[in-house]
Amino acid sequence: MRIEAAELRILELSLKFRFETSFGVQTKRTILLLRLFGEGLEGLGEGVMERLPLYREETVMGARYLLEEVFLPQVLGKDLANPEGLRQTLAPFRGNPMAKAVLEMAFWDLWAKGLGKPLWQVLGGVRTRVEVGVSLGIQPTVADTLKAVERHLAQGYRRIKLKIRPGWDYVVLKAVRQAFPEATLTADANSAYRLADFPRLKRLDELFLDYIEQPLGYDDLLDHAKLARELATPICLDESLTSAEKARKAIELGAGRVFNIKPARLGGHGESLQVHALAQSAGIPLWMGGMLETGVGRAHNLHLTTLPGFTKPGDVSSASRYWEEDLVEEALEAEEGLMPVPEGPGIGVHLKLPLVERLTLWQRYVSAS
């Protein structure tokens, strides 16, 4: 597949809800959107990095620079045999997995379309619908939280994840556990605790959480391994897993008994397949994370979630929860806690170009000379 041209955009989209986590409040997303063109086809990729490095270190502007000045010039006009070839081309450049993932995932889409197959089949998926839950931000009160949990359980979501931070943890989780004794419940700290907070975290053991997500440092494995030995509740890693190498070390150290996969955090689908293989052989269950994606990133995530190792509900919930109007034509909506995987070649979704135009703050088109 020869990449003939690329269009990179930055656009802004308002969220329908205020999303509060231990690292801040989000009311909109600034989105890097990449369209790759080749052989009369188009591949799509979406960046998940934000303006500010509050989740991981990458930023929208840093990624835009790398894509424009470094990564796209490496691949434009090149005939790449497959996505692994593209991955090898980007491999010498260190770090920046989110920036690499925008290009890598757009190329998987383009390549699958070249083969005339849906992406999930090319990735090795085994199902056409995937189990999903919801990630609920920190609410103003416990009563608000109970209402939000009740509403989403009634909609059929199969797991409730609550964002926590020191001071907003035991009390709210305990209230939800008491009101919904049978619910599959998890907590995501987004790195808000330190090992010294052990007594606070130990109290959560009585609430039968399915796992606690990323309690400690955003790049840490060692302290998570220490904490894991002292908690009955399994630890799930999110922020710290940025490559297959990190996943291998996390397994060796015992830093997490569950892994959150976000292909955009791991550098793309290729790296995610490697983590999937490692997790399968270590007996580590996987689930698909989310970064408040539009239909483009959401479709990519859905396709990857069809692999056999994804045995816990993902954060890939209905697009209508997030957006008044999504960037894609196809409605990505859950039914009874199951999300259908978009059909058709590649990721199976199509941009609403007039809407994309309206939301665009900046764009650049580059073609192979």
Residues that bind ligand OSB (CB under 6 A): 55, 135, 188, 190, 238, 289-292, 315, 317
Residue with smallest beta-carbon separation from Mg ion: 238
The answer to whether 198 and 169 have CB atoms below 8 angstroms apart is: no
Coil/strand/helix, residue 278: helix
Size of the site for Mg ion (CB under 5 A): 3
The answer to whether 312 and 159 have CB atoms below 8 angstroms apart is: yes
Q: 100 or 298: whose CB is closer to ligand OSB?
A: 298
Please report whether residue 238 would count as binding Mg ion according to CB under 5 A.
Answer: yes
Show which residues are catalytic. Answer: 163, 262
Question: CA quadruple 152, 158, 164, 167: dihedral positive or negative?
Answer: positive
Q: 80 or 134: whose CB is closer to ligand OSB?
A: 134
In the complex, least distance from residue 267 CB atom to Mg ion, rounded to whole angstroms: 17
Residue with smallest beta-carbon separation from ligand OSB: 290
Taking CB under 5 A as the binding criterion, the range among 13-21, 236-244, 303-311, 314-322 that sits at the site for Mg ion is 236-244
In the complex, least distance from residue 226 CB atom to Mg ion, rounded to whole angstroms: 20
Please report whether residue 188 would count as binding Mg ion according to CB under 5 A.
Answer: yes
Q: 220 or 315: whose CB is closer to ligand OSB?
A: 315
Q: 366 has which bridge partners? A: 6
| DSSP assignment string, 19-41 | EEETTEEEEEEEEEEEEEEETTE
In the complex, least distance from residue 273 CB atom to ligand OSB, rounded to whole angstroms: 21
Coil/strand/helix, residue 258: strand
Q: 139 or 190: whose CB is closer to ligand OSB?
A: 190
In the complex, least distance from residue 122 CB atom to Mg ion, rounded to whole angstroms: 27
Coil/strand/helix, residue 200: helix
CA distance 77 to 296: 24
> Which amino acid appears at position 359 of this protein?
L
The answer to whether 280 and 289 have CB atoms below 8 angstroms apart is: no
Residues near Mg ion (CB under 5 A): 188, 213, 238
